[in-house]
């Protein structure tokens, strides 16, 4: 990264970068569905639910669906997965409502709280997630994060990696694009942010989607490559 670069704010991808969605969703699904007599491969259930994520958002990005908060898309995807796995008749509405909010109860990776605390001494911090605002609030309160703002899809009324999501974040902070750094564990997210004019930092999460199923290193050019958030704080 250029020595004369003045980054004033860091904005963060959340699912996978800051939280262990797979382990958390596997736990929440087991707790919700086992009492109904359902038993399955719980990490695979988490993978199946997450597997509907991009397709649902693409319906919005393409204009085929009006903008909907991610909670609504997650519920649509949950119903699809329950039917596909043959559990549809066994899972009542109250259980579906509670289970859908599992995404509000995800656990952070071990380095995140300390890393954000260190970074917040010098930078404005905000999520720039496809998750809706209430979801981001609940994750922050659960995991002890202190944001300066909550930005992302709900503010922009569209989903990453559309450029408008990153640009709305910069505008909300009254900062130039080059003063804002997108932090993510996904090269596609960082490539889109860079194309929109932001600086970028990659966080290694090699086991995000299971052992060995994540990005240990970026596949695109980035300004900073870090092993975790504490490493990012040290480099910055």
* Residue 115 shares a structural domain with residue 231: yes
Q: What is the pLDDT along the chain (236 residues), one digit of tens a residue?
A: 444 469 999 999 999 999 999 999 999 999 999 999 999 999 999 999 999 988 899 999 999 989 999 999 999 999 999 999 999 889 999 999 999 999 999 999 999 999 999 999 999 999 999 999 999 999 999 999 999 999 999 999 999 999 999 999 999 999 999 999 999 999 999 999 999 999 999 999 999 999 999 999 999 999 999 999 999 999 99
* Residue 124 shares a structural domain with residue 94: no
* Residue 215 shares a structural domain with residue 140: yes
Asked which of 64, 87, 104 is the last residue of a domain, the reply is 104
Q: What is the pLDDT of residue 5?
A: 64
How many domains does the chain fold into?
Answer: 2
**2 within domain boundaries:** no
**4 within domain boundaries:** no
- Residue 12 CA to residue 182 CA, distance in Å, equals 6
Question: Tokens 């709280």 correspond to what residue?
Answer: 113
Taking Cα atoms as reference points, which of 175, 110, 111 lies closest to residue 148? Answer: 175
Give the pTM.
0.93
Range of 117's domain?
9-20+106-235
* Residue 117 shares a structural domain with residue 195: yes
* Residue 214 shares a structural domain with residue 170: yes
* Residue 213 shares a structural domain with residue 159: yes
Determine how many CB atoms are found less than 10 A away from the CB of residue 146: 10
* Residue 147 shares a structural domain with residue 126: yes
Q: Tell me which DSSP letter residue 62 carries.
A: T
What are the φ and ψ backbone dihedral angles of 2, each rounded to 5 degrees? -60, 140
**1 within domain boundaries:** no
**173 within domain boundaries:** yes
* Residue 96 shares a structural domain with residue 148: no
* Residue 96 shares a structural domain with residue 212: no
Q: What is the pLDDT of residue 88?
A: 84
CATH number at residue 114: 3.40.50.1000
* Kind and range of the H or E run holding 224: strand 224-226
* Residue 116 shares a structural domain with residue 225: yes
* Residue 124 shares a structural domain with residue 39: no
* Residue 96 shares a structural domain with residue 54: yes
């Amino acid at each position: 990264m250029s020595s004369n670069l003045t980054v004033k704010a860091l904005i963060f991808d959340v699912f996978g970068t800051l939280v262990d969605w797979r382990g958390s969703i596997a736990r929440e699904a087991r707790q919700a569905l086992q009492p109904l007599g359902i038993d399955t491969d719980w990490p695979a259930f988490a993978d199946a639910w997450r597997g509907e994520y991009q397709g649902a958002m693409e319906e919005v990005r393409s204009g085929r669906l009006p903008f909907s908060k991610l909670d609504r898309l997650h519920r649509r995807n949950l119903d699809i997965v329950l039917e596909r796995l043959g559990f549809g008749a066994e899972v009542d509405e109250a259980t579906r409502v509670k289970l859908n909010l599992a995404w509000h109860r995800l656990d952070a990776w071990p380095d995140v709280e300390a890393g954000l605390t260190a970074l917040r001494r010098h930078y404005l911090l905000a999520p720039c997630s496809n998750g809706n605002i209430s979801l981001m609030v609940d994750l922050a309160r659960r995991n002890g994060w202190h944001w300066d703002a909550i930005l992302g899809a709900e503010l922009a009324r569209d989903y990453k990696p559309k450029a408008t999501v990153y640009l709305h974040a910069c505008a909300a902070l009254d900062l130039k694009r080059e003063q804002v750094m997108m932090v993510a564990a996904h090269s596609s997210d960082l490539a889109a942010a860079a194309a929109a004019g932001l600086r970028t930092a990659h966080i290694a999460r090699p086991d995000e989607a299971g052992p060995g199923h994540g990005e240990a290193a970026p596949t695109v050019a980035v300004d900073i490559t870090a092993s975790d958030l504490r490493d990012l704080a040290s480099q910055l």
